[in-house]
Copies of this chain bind each other. A is one copy, B any other.
Amino acid sequence: MSEPTYVIGHRKPDTDTVCAALAYAELKRKRGEENVSTARAGDPNPETQFVLDYWDTEAPTLLEDAAGKQLVLVDHNEYSQTVSGAREAEIVEIVDHHRIGDVETSAPIPFRNEPVGSTATILVDLFDDADATIDAQTAGLLLSGLLSDTVVLRSPTTTERDRTVAERLADTAGVDIEEYGEELLAHKSKLGEKSPREMVLGDFKEFEFGSSRVGIGQVETVEPAVVLDRREAVLDAMDDVVSERGYDALLLLVTDLLKEESTALVAGDETATVEAGLDATFSDRAAFLPGVMSRKKQVVPPLETAFE
């Protein structure tokens, strides 16, 4: 059998990226597309592992090098977030809910990007377009992606469509949104067990803004003090990452899920640009960001503008 087409999410996989890859591969098989595999660009985090166990699903295969392969990207569309070798791969399709990034193709391909709370939300539309049934297991995976990305429908990225889709998926999967969501959130962070470096790099994305390379990590928690009480050690870990990877700026958002606010920590030489972008002042390398919960919607756009 020839090399399959891999449906794959972003590096540092989270629940939406892994579940979207699994569900979309499933839909493709239902649509009669043969030789489709699901892959991942890194190890599942504890929340995702909980989800896979709960819905009795095997993790996708780890793809170490995508060079020469055919890829369907889900939940991302920029090279800084793709699996190794993606620049030498053929990207044949994209389904995403982020900003439009730098992936270019030679030939026309299907690209469906929508500004909703999760990739899972878009996939439900694709199942409907194909008149394909969503079974309880797939509904459970999609619901997990949706609730994880929207912090159980609390994030400002949440749309009415996400709410409607979540209710339908919860019904099919046979779980209660709030109860199941609470279990998910509990697995999101076993923060106290993490090293400062793990706090910084646990949920981490890298961006190219003009000629600047910027890393932005985020810790979403109901106990921000667990991170902020170890502030000096976390800042040291951030400095290490900046010198290893040569970032112009590195930001860690410590987001309080209950109070709906964040504290940002900063490293790198471009603090003034970060301050201009976020309209905030850093004191001892920390700034308070009231109302900020979404990296994608509230942090990336103004920083990109400031750096360019």
Q: In the bound complex, how far is the Cα of B101 from the Cα of A115, in angstroms?
A: 19
Q: In the bound complex, how far is the Cα of B80 from the Cα of A104, in angstroms?
A: 14
Task: Flag A85-129 by CB within 8 Å of B: 1 or 0 each.
Answer: 000000100100111111111111111111100000000000000
Chain B residues closer than 8 Å to A104, beta-carbon distance: 99-102
Task: Answer whether residue A237 sits at the interface, using C-beta atoms and an 8 A cutoff.
Answer: no
> Which residue of B99, B110, B297, B305 contacts A114 across the interface (Cβ within 8 Å)?
B110
Q: Looking across the interface, which residue of chain B has its beta carbon closest to that of A300?
A: B106
Q: In the bound complex, how far is the Cα of B105 from the Cα of A300, in angstroms?
A: 11
Q: In the bound complex, how far is the Cα of B113 from the Cα of A110, in angstroms?
A: 5
Task: Answer whether residue A68 sits at the interface, using C-beta atoms and an 8 A cutoff.
Answer: no
Q: Could you tell me if A108 and B97 are in contact, using CB atoms closer than 8 angstroms?
A: yes
Q: In the bound complex, how far is the Cα of B110 from the Cα of A98, in angstroms?
A: 9
Chain B residues closer than 8 Å to A107, beta-carbon distance: 99, 115, 297, 301
Among A108, A109, A114, A296, chain B packs the most CB atoms within 10 A around the CB of: A108
Chain B residues closer than 8 Å to A260, beta-carbon distance: none
Q: Could you tell me if A296 and B99 are in contact, using CB atoms closer than 8 angstroms?
A: no
Q: Looking across the interface, which residue of chain B has its beta carbon closest to that of A106?
A: B301
Task: Flag A285-306 by CB within 8 Å of B: 1 or 0 each.
Answer: 0000000000011001100110
Q: Looking across the interface, which residue of chain B has its beta carbon closest to that of A94?
A: B100
> Which residue of B112, B297, B305 contacts A112 across the interface (Cβ within 8 Å)?
B112
Q: In the bound complex, how far is the Cα of B163 from the Cα of A104, in angstroms?
A: 28
Q: Could you tell me if B106 and A115 are in contact, using CB atoms closer than 8 angstroms?
A: no
Q: Looking across the interface, which residue of chain B has its beta carbon closest to that of A303?
A: B106
> Which residue of B109, B113, B305 contacts A109 across the interface (Cβ within 8 Å)?
B113
> Which residue of B91, B102, B112, B115 contacts A108 across the interface (Cβ within 8 Å)?
B115
Among A100, A101, A103, chain B packs the most CB atoms within 10 A around the CB of: A100
Q: In the bound complex, how far is the Cα of B102 from the Cα of A110, in angstroms?
A: 16
Chain B residues closer than 8 Å to A108, beta-carbon distance: 97-99, 113-115, 296-297
Show the binding face of A for B, using Cβ within 8 Å: 91, 94, 97-115, 296-297, 300-301, 304-305
Task: Pick 24 A–B contacts, CB within 8 A, sort by A.
Answer: A94-B100, A98-B108, A99-B104, A99-B105, A99-B106, A99-B108, A99-B109, A100-B105, A100-B109, A102-B102, A106-B300, A106-B301, A106-B304, A107-B115, A107-B297, A107-B301, A108-B113, A108-B114, A108-B297, A110-B113, A110-B114, A110-B115, A111-B113, A112-B113
